């Protein structure tokens, strides 16, 4: 019984990091409902209200199936010494079924280099303001609301999760696309990731476009134009320079034709070092296999020790009997 208890404790200790409810080191980017603002960081019933100010900025009118930008700005930032701050883009504050995709929006990219509605950022010491921008494809015709929310830890030593949300959502009117509006083709999806040191050739498909200009910039820097080549059949291509280190660059296109000129949102392209991919399921299976091997070795050693002790006692008994 004691041996079984010891092995059980060892097993639980191996998996203890995954059994806790709080995640002070974050959960990483992902698709999360508003409820995760409490539950992902700790017990949702222990939430405290964040004093940070959250605002959502979006155009009043967008066109069905086309791309647009929505930004969430957090001011008077409060967080832990690590500076970790989680930011949500939501379609409601119900706590479930409230991601943008639940209302028909498609997230193409965000300024964190991903394509999820939840982003984790690290705020520098003394920084009081941070903005994250999402590029979305608009849903069907109608009126929609988009909300912003945040969660973070505090420095009061309580380990309680802090949650905050925008006081007013952004209201967006999605309208039917005018027939002759110069625009990107609805099937076009911009690249969002690449490897450091690799240049990128972007091929763009359009509708009702007779001229196309492209500009790019490092986030927060000045923009530069790059030439775009018409390849026929409403297809264009241009080259973006390689990044020498992990970073995010942005680009946008100016489209001209018979209808009014249009400018696309800024698209984000993230450069990263090559990553080793890890299959979590495989890792858990290997951990269990190692644990079982350890248990088998431990039990074999116990058996050998017991056998040796018994043999020694038998020898001593025989020697005592002869004497």
Render pLDDT for 221-230 as a digit per residue (tens, 0 to 9). Answer: 889 999 999 9
Say if residues 40 and 151 touch (Cβ distance below 8 Å). Answer: yes
pLDDT for position 142:
97
Percent of residues, the chain, with pLDDT higher than 90: 44
Average pLDDT, the chain: 82
**Rounded Cα–Cα distance for residues 48 and 161 (Å):** 6
Domain total for the chain? Answer: 2
Structure tokens at 202: 């972007």
Identify whether 270 is part of a domain: yes
In this predicted model, what pLDDT tens digit does every residue of 128-160 receive, in sequence order?
A: 899 999 999 999 999 999 999 998 887 766 667
Confidence category of residue 17, pLDDT binned at 50, 70, 90: very low
In this predicted model, what pLDDT tens digit does every residue of 93-134 receive, in sequence order?
A: 887 789 999 999 999 988 877 889 999 998 888 888 999 999
Confidence category of residue 18, pLDDT binned at 50, 70, 90: very low
In this predicted model, what pLDDT tens digit does every residue of 45-74 receive, in sequence order?
A: 567 888 899 999 999 999 999 999 999 999
| 161 and 189 inside one domain | no
Q: Which of 128, 143, 177 is the last residue of a domain?
A: 177
| 162 and 185 inside one domain | no
> Residue range 286-314: average pLDDT?
67
In the predicted structure, residue 92 carries a pLDDT above the cut 60:
yes
| 39 and 135 inside one domain | yes
Please, what is the Cα angle at 105 between 99 and 106, to 5 degrees? 100
| Chain centroid, CA 285 distance in Å | 26
Confidence category of residue 6, pLDDT binned at 50, 70, 90: low
| 130 and 187 inside one domain | no
Nearest residue to 28 via CA among 19, 20, 40, 17? 40
Identify whether 246 is part of a domain: yes
Taking each helix axis from N to C end, the angle separating 2-19 and 280-322, rounded to the nearest 10 degrees, works out to 160
The domain in which residue 208 lies consists of 180-286
| 12 and 111 inside one domain | yes
| 125 and 222 inside one domain | no
* Cα–Cα distances in angstroms (integers) from residue 281 to residues 117, 220, 285, 286, in the given order: 25, 39, 6, 9
53-57, 201-205, 268-272: lowest mean pLDDT where? 268-272
CATH number of the domain that residue 224 is part of: 2.60.40.10
Percent of residues, the chain, with pLDDT higher than 70: 76
Confidence category of residue 39, pLDDT binned at 50, 70, 90: very low
> Residue range 229-245: average pLDDT?
92
Q: What is the DSSP string of 2-43?
A: HHHHHHHHHHHHHHHHHH-S--TT---SB---TTHHHHTTS-
Instruction: Please count the other Cβ atoms lying within 10 Å of the Cβ belonging to residue 85.
Output: 26
Identify whether 229 is part of a domain: yes
pLDDT for position 21:
44
| 64 and 27 inside one domain | yes
Q: What is the pTM of this model?
A: 0.71
Q: Which of 141, 158, 177 is the last residue of a domain?
A: 177
Identify whether 323 is part of a domain: no
Confidence category of residue 8, pLDDT binned at 50, 70, 90: low
**Rounded Cα–Cα distance for residues 84 and 71 (Å):** 19
In the predicted structure, residue 16 carries a pLDDT above the cut 50:
no
CB-based burial of residue 33 (10 Å sphere; 0-12 exposed, 13-18 middle, 19+ buried)?
A: buried
> Residue range 259-266: average pLDDT?
92
pLDDT for position 323:
47
| 166 and 131 inside one domain | yes
In this predicted model, what pLDDT tens digit does every residue of 165-182 receive, in sequence order?
A: 999 999 999 999 998 999
């Amino acid at each position: 019984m004691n041996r079984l208890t010891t092995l059980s404790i060892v097993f639980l200790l191996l998996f203890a990091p995954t059994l806790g409810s709080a995640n002070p080191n974050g959960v990483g980017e992902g698709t999360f409902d508003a409820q995760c603002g409490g539950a992902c960081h700790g017990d949702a019933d222990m939430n405290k209200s964040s004093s940070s100010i959250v605002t959502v900025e979006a155009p009043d009118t967008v066109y069905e199936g086309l791309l647009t930008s929505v930004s969430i700005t957090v001011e008077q930032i409060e967080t832990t010494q690590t500076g970790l701050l989680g930011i949500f883009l939501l379609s409601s504050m119900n706590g479930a079924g409230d991601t943008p995709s639940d209302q028909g929006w498609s997230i193409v990219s965000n300024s964190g280099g991903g394509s999820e509605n939840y982003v984790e950022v690290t705020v520098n010491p003394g920084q009081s303001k941070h903005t994250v921008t999402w590029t979305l494809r608009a849903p069907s015709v109608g009126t929609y609301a988009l909300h912003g929310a945040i969660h973070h830890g505090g420095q009061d030593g309580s380990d309680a999760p802090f949650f905050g949300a925008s006081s007013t959502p952004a209201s967006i009117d999605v309208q039917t696309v005018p027939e002759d509006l110069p625009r990107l083709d609805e099937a076009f999806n911009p690249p969002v990731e690449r490897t450091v040191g690799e240049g990128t050739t972007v091929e763009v498909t359009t509708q009702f476009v007779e001229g196309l200009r492209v500009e790019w910039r490092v986030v927060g820097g000045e923009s530069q134009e790059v030439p775009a080549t018409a390849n026929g059949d409403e297809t264009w291509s241009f080259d973006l320079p390689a990044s020498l280190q992990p970073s995010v660059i942005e680009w946008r296109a100016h489209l001209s034709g018979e209808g009014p000129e249009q400018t696309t949102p800024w698209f984000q392209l993230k450069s990263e070092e090559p990553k080793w991919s890890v299959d979590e399921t495989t890792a858990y299976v290997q951990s269990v296999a190692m644990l079982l091997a350890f248990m088998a070795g431990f039990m074999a050693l116990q058996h050998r020790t017991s056998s040796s002790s018994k043999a020694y006692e038998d020898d001593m008994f025989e020697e005592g009997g002869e004497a």
